Amino acid sequence: MPLMLTSAIIIMMINTTLVILLNITSKKTIMDREKSSPFECGFDPKSSARLPFSMHFFLIAIIFLIFDVEITLLFPIIISMKLNNLTNYLIVFTAFIIILLIGLFHEWKQGALTWTN
């Protein structure tokens, strides 16, 4: 146990030293106006480099990512069907699908899934 504690302390000290060293050496010290401005073939840009951001598209993308991650959580449940009995499998699977459907209906009622406003 003491060996494990000392090795953990040594690893934490090495990590802390590396983080501090990298933060010191990686900072940009010279801020040049030309380097921080947007680059357009060597000329000054004609318009703003920032494009308008669609918040609705961002929400749809986040909802997609959430449901995509939850689909990946379903794969181990399907594989564990061989190891568990059918009643436990159905209870867990049904509860998971109900939680997904509640989230989907909530987003639908909030209007996050309708594209046109």
Strand partners, 40: 43
Domain assignment present for 78: yes
Domain assignment present for 116: no
**Residue 33 pLDDT greater than 80, yes or no:** no
Residue 16 confidence (pLDDT):
95
Name every residue whose Cβ is closer than 8 Å to that of residue 31 and which is 6 or more positions away in sequence: none
DSSP state of 80: G
Q: How many domains does the chain have?
A: 1
Residue 28 CA to residue 51 CA, distance in Å, equals 27
User: Model-level pTM?
Assistant: 0.46
Structural domain including 57 reads: 2-110
Domain assignment present for 85: yes
- pLDDT tens across 37-94, in order? 666 566 666 666 666 777 778 888 888 888 788 878 878 877 777 777 888 888 888 8
Residue-by-residue DSSP string for 3-71:
HHHHHHHHHHHHHHHHHHHHHHHH------HHHHS--BTTB--SS-SPPPP-HHHHHHHHHHHHHHHHH
Distance of CA 62 to the CA centre of its chain: 9
Domain assignment present for 53: yes
> What CATH number is associated with residue 65?
1.20.58
- Name the amino acid, one letter, at 49: A
Domain assignment present for 115: no
